[in-house]
Amino acid sequence: MRRLFAHITAGAIVVFARAITAVRGVWTGVAPAPTRRVYFANHTSNADFILLWAAIPPQYRRHTRPVAAADYWLKNALRTFIGRDVVRGVLIERAPEARNQDPVAQMTEATDAGDSLIIFPEGQRNMTGEDLLPFKTGLFHLASARPDLELVPVWIENLNRVMPKGEIIPVPFLCTVTFGAPIAYSDHKAAFLQAAYDAVLALKPETGDG
């Protein structure tokens, strides 16, 4: 019953996201595929993963799980329902002292079960007006634990205009989600993270004020 309800809610959320943003997946570097992937994207809004999720065709969406903050998504019953049941989030405790599980182990557990992941390597929502914040190291640790995963950079455009921080009414803007070519794993941490960072930023469309 709870699963059926979660399924219907997932569909409703995607329909709503489409109605407001007419979101469109632009697959410039890869095509949608059942391959186990790590989609890593820029993060400007709490709805980022919903948009990215909506841009993935439904048959693969079910096997694509966002990695999200447990302290945010387990705060109340509604968030828990959405975070855990609807989008099947891999919920990670941000504060190290509150952890009883290793975040990388939580992620590899999901990929070993055949799922793809969505992660936001900036580690927090970007409110600065900069295009992209420096990446945290989680992506590197995940990639070195499972070098066979396909690492797909993603740029989410315009969602921060739909609902800026502190606003409660979403406003319609056209949004796109651009999927770039997978990046190669390298065991040099700094170089790898820089390459990942550059790959995401390179997907930002050059329009408007630029």
Residues of the shown chain interacting with another protein in the complex, contacts defined by CB under 8 A: 22, 24, 158, 160-161, 164-165, 167, 169, 171-174, 206-210
Closer CB to another protein, 33 or 171, in the complex? 171
Nearer to another protein, 96 or 129 (CB): 129
Q: Closer to another protein at the Cβ: 8 or 174?
A: 174
- By beta-carbon proximity to another protein, the closer residue of 136 and 161 is 161
- Tell me the residue ranges of DSSP E strands in 171-210: 176-179
In the complex, least distance from residue 42 CB atom to another protein, rounded to whole angstroms: 17
CB of 19 to another protein, least distance (A): 10
> Is residue 150 within a helix (H) or strand (E), and if so which, with residue range?
strand 150-157
> Residues 185-201, buried b or exposed e (16+ Cβ, 10 A)?
bbeeeeebbebbbebbe
Smallest distance, another protein to C-beta of residue 32, A: 18
Q: Are 67 and 121 in contact (CB under 8 A)?
A: no
Closest by CA to 41, choosing from 160, 147, 145, is: 160
CA distance 3 to 161: 32
Q: What totals of helices (H) and strands (E) does the chain contain, helices first?
A: 9, 7
CB 45, min distance to another protein, A: 12
Compare residues 161 and 204 and give the one whose CB is closer to another protein.
161
The answer to whether the beta carbons of residues 63 and 94 sit under 8 Å apart is no
Please tell me the distance from the alpha carbon of residue 38 to that of residue 200, in angstroms, as a whole number: 13
Cα gap 145→107, rounded to integer Å: 10
Give whichever of 44 and 116 is closer to another protein, judged by the CB atom. 44
Residue 28 Cβ vs another protein, minimum distance, rounded to whole Å:
14
- Least separation in angstroms between residue 172's CB and another protein is 4
